[in-house]
Structure 1
Amino acid sequence: METAGGLPSGFWYLWTGTLINRIGSFVLILLSVYLTHERGFTPTFAGLVIGLWGAGGALGTLVGGVLADRWGRKPTYLTFLYSSSALMLALGFAHSALLVAVTVFLLGMAAEGSRPAMSALMIDIVGPHERLRAFSLNYWVINLGFAFSAIAAGALANVDYLLIFIVDAVSTAAAATVVAIKVRDTHRGTRGQRTPRPAAGGSLLSVFADRVFLGFFACNLLLALVFMQHISTLPLAMTGDGLSTGTYGLVIAINGILIVAGQLFVPRLLRHVPRAHALALGAVLVGVGFALTAFAGAAWFYAISVVIWTLGEMADAPSKSALLADLSPSWMRGRYQGASSLAWSMASFGAPIIGAAVQQHLGNATLWLGCLVVSLLVAAGHLLMGPARERRAVELRAAELAAAASSSANPRLVPAA
């Protein structure tokens, strides 16, 4: 009960939708293999296409974040998710290089555009003191789905690659339908409303003018560039050592399995750990795990490296999500979530290109040891910027409590969330 009890029913319906969606999320896992082995495109083109997913996602997260605040969390989430389902199916039938590239760009935009609205919806539903637990549970179910899909994707591809697109599209539509029926919108948008918010700020540009957030964003971007190597250069390194794509699927599934086994205990372990320390620890473990890949040659050694960077991911992800929630004004949660997600979209675009270039021209050892250097810089950044972030979180919470009290005294003011 301490781990899962007491959370609102709306959270659990979001959780269920995420589970359905992630169990069927096959396409991105095998996209590079599909494009090269099944369709005969060059590895360079496959890297470009995966980068286009990230480029589309970068645009999608910004648009999705703004719409979540102005139009509403739920309609934004459903629009992007249903669009993602349709585009997933279209990609399975796309044949020309141009059509594949355009469809992947639009699919990245739709898939990533739903995330800010979903995160903002969850923050609205769950109280401040329960958010670390809620984000841990959500992260747990994401990886439960990933552990299943990483193994099932290979099995479906052995039968027919088209199946991975069909099942992915169906599961995405089913997830959207659960939310459409069971989750009420918590935020109708700010257009035309009188809200107790500051006269200054409120635009997407004001998010990127927030120096505290920019430091947070920079750390996330750098660590994401390291982490995204697991779906870009890691499979190339493993196949280069003579290991099969099936072995890669099994090894990378350890990531999801370990998170499923241990993530529910993370909130209790981190309860009394300062967030800056938890984030720094996570970055160090991610760096060490990827650095060990430089010395790997057998599946068991790759598996050990995955275990270590997964432990770092388990410390980093929920702490980061809870911190972002505390740094986001309620009327700008969508924008802050979208701006934060932009780091991952940029990494999705940049990591395959940068990683492949380093791997090809400087070698595997330089790539993986470079990941350690970047991760250590991120850890130092979290420690240096931690106090300023916590001060901002306290100030923002006090300001919103004062605004809520003011709106209660003046019923003509309607809170945005």
Structure 2
Amino acid sequence: MRKLYKNYISNFSGLSKEIWMLSLVTFINRAGAMVIPFLSLYLVNEKGFTLPQIGWIMTCFGLGSLAGTWVGGKLTDTIGAYKVITTSLFLGGLGFLALQFIDTFYGFCIGIFTLIFIADSYRPAIFVACDAYSKPKNVTRSIALIRLAINLGFSIGPVIGGIIIARISYNSLFWIDGVTCILAAVLLFLLLKPKKISREEKETAKIKEGVSPYKNPLYLLLILIMVLSGMMFVQYFSLIPLYYEQAHFLSEDVIGGLLFLNGIIIVLFEMPLVGWLERINISKTMATFWGILFLASSFLVLNLNDSFMVLVLGMILMTLGEMVESPFSNALALEMAPKGRKGSYMGLYSMSFSLSHIFGHNGGMNLADKLGYDITWYVIFSILAIVSVITLWLHKKYHKTKLRFEERAV
């Protein structure tokens, strides 16, 4: 047992104190983010919106995320990650407080767009901050630690959120979300200072190597993979909770418990898994491939039978896919980004998840509404199987390009 403990702790060694501080702030922020996993249930049960209306609201969610990540990436390259993160957290907290007072469909579309525009400018900035505050060899593990903080908060949040909904009200979640975002911003401002950059580094940062991400065909292929797989993954934020309630008649607190399972598995096993995969020298592209396959299987098993354990198995498979794909695809995107363009590259990478929100929620809701849940899961599995083949093609092309570059460098 002691050896297992030491091996687990060793996965965290060598990470900078700044990364730990960013992780702490991220944990506080995500622990309070209880509205998002229950948003589709809130819109049905409290606002009385239809599934197609919820699909359009979630499309506005995605459009806000798309615009926010694009602007966040640009701002990160100009004013720096620290200012973007702090401002996003503070204003996002105010946005959560205001959202609860909107009652109309169109008002909610505008409100959710504005809130997520502010909140998701954070995403490219946190990736660039990981790169700035980490040694090159620790970037993947730094990203994994940030993700651990996100998921530790996310695992606690839904459990507490489900209890709060069952015993108090949905509106309480908006207050908690808003206050914790503001608290995270204040802590970051007080405890973490911007990285000091020398005059030479500032001049170097102005030099933009390579090409724009929009002119890099292999990077655009990675973005396509992220968009398509993300469209399927986001069903766990909207359609799957409704499936749990409508097809399996689960209450909000039980749904929160299933979401807790996702977070707690990531907290316990992602860092050791990432450490082990790095030790066996798996490529970032192949890790992405295996992650997509696990995600695909998580939807397929839902049609095995109607037992609760099938839902647990699906959540475990999805979580395994997330643990493998997310940190390595993040690190792959950073690896492909040339100097002076990391903000733009990571902005586009973050925008891929935003595009997933735009099309994924709406597509999933309308598929389920017209074809039913069972056929929807088969359709999603088929799409992810195709995406996995595209990922293998990226693996082949990218590693040929890397070999040519290394030969030229020698």
What's the TM-score, normalizing by structure 1? 0.88
1:129: which partner in 2? 137
Return closer, same or farther for 1:398/1:12 CA change in 2, 3 Å cut-off: farther
289-298 vs 335-344, which deviates more?
289-298
Aligned to 1:331: 340
The worse-fitting range, judged by mean Cα deviation, of 258-267 and 19-28 is: 258-267
* Counterpart for residue 253 of structure 2: 246
Match of residue 320 from structure 1: 329
Report the Cα offset of residue 176 of structure 1. 1.4
Pairwise mapping of residues 218-237 of structure 1 onto structure 2 (< 5 A)?
218-237=224-243
- 1:410 match: none
Q: Work out the CA distance in 1 between the residues paired with 2:405 and 2:40.
A: 43
- 1:82 matched to 2:90? The reply is yes
8 A contact 2:64–2:116 mirrored in 1? yes
Q: CA RMSD of the aligned region, Å?
A: 2.5
The correspondence for 2:54, drawn from 43, 46, 49, is: 46
Which of 270, 276, 279 matches 1:269? 276
Q: 1:61 to 1:350 in 2, by over 3 A?
A: same
Alpha-carbon displacement from aligned partner over 1:237-296 (angstroms, at most 9, x marks no partner): 222223333322222221112111211211222112222221111111110111111234
Give the Cα separation in 2 of the matches to 1:214 and 1:284.
21
Instruction: Give the Cα separation in 1 of the matches to 2:335 and 2:210.
Output: 17
Quick one: which of 117, 123, 132 aligns to 1:115?
Answer: 123
The CA distance in 1 between the partners of 2:186 and 2:345, in whole Å, is 26
For 2:121, what is the secondary structure of its paired residue?
Answer: helix
The equivalences for 1:313-392 within 5 A come to: 313-390=322-399
Report what 2:33 is aligned to.
25
1:104-155 deviation digits (Å, cap 9, x = unpaired): 1101111111111111111111121111211121111211111111111111
* C-alpha distance in structure 1 between counterparts of 2:198 and 2:358, whole Å: 30
Matches of 2:399 and 2:93, distance apart in 1: 39
1:66-215 equivalence runs, <5 A: 66-158=74-166, 159-186=168-195, 194-195=203-204, 206-215=212-221
Name stretches of at least 5 consecutive residues in structure 1 with no aligned partner. Answer: 403-417
Q: How far apart are residue 98 of structure 1 and its match?
A: 3.1
Residues 188/357 of structure 1: CA separation in 2 closer, same or farther (3 Å cut): farther
- With 94-103 and 145-154 compared, the bigger mean Cα shift is at 94-103
Of 27-36 and 59-68, more deviation after overlay is shown by 27-36
Q: 1:334 to 1:263 in 2, by over 3 A?
A: same
**Could you tell me which residue of structure 1 aligns to residue 320 of structure 2?**
311
Q: 1:337 to 1:212 in 2, by over 3 A?
A: same
Rate the CA distance shift 1:329–1:395 in 2: closer, same or farther, 3 A: farther
Moved more, 357-366 or 51-60: 357-366
Q: Contact 2:294–2:318 (CA<8 Å) still a contact in 1?
A: yes
Report the Cα offset of residue 14 of structure 1. Answer: 0.3
| Aligned partner of residue 7 in structure 1, secondary structure | coil
Task: For residue 369 of structure 1, report the CA deviation from its aligned partner.
Answer: 1.5
Q: Find the aligned partners of 1:66 and 1:98 in 2 and give their Cα distance.
A: 29
Distance 2:265 2:127 in 1: 23
CA distance in 2, matches of 1:298, 1:249: 18
Query: Separation in 2 of the partners of 1:174 and 1:397?
Result: 46
CA distance in 1, matches of 2:62, 2:214: 20
The AA in structure 1 aligned to 2:127 is: S
Offset, 1:201: 6.3
User: How many Å apart are 1:351 and its aligned residue?
Assistant: 1.0
AA aligned opposite 2:238? S
1:299 has 2:324 as partner:
no
Q: Distance in 2 between matches of 1:225 and 1:173?
A: 30
| Residues 324 and 374 of structure 1, relative CA distance in 2, 3 Å threshold | same
Give runs of ≥4 in structure 1 deviating > 6 Å. 187-190, 199-202, 393-399
Relative to structure 1, the CA distance from residue 197 to residue 146 in structure 2 (aligned partners, 3 Å threshold; closer, same or farther) is same
- CA gap of 1:247–1:361, structure 2 versus 1, over 3 A, is same
Report how far residue 387 of structure 1 moved.
4.2
**Secondary structure of residue in 2 paired with 1:195:** helix
Worse overlay, 218-227 or 378-387: 378-387
Determine if the alignment matches structure 1 residue 279 to structure 2 residue 288.
Answer: yes
Match of 1:2 in 2: 10
**Contact conserved, 1:238 with 1:297, CA < 8 A, in 2?**
no
Partner in structure 1 of residue 6 of structure 2: none
Identity of paired residues, percent?
A: 25
Contact 1:17-1:175 within 8 A present in 2 as well: yes
Task: Report what 1:415 is aligned to.
Answer: none
Structure 1 position 197, deviation (Å): 6.0
Residues 63-101 of structure 1: CA deviation (Å, up to 9, x unaligned)? 000000012111112122211111100002223333322
1:74–1:291: structure 2 CA closer, same or farther, 3 Å change rule?
A: same
- Normalised TM-score (structure 2): 0.90
Partner-residue secondary structure (3-state), 1:93: coil
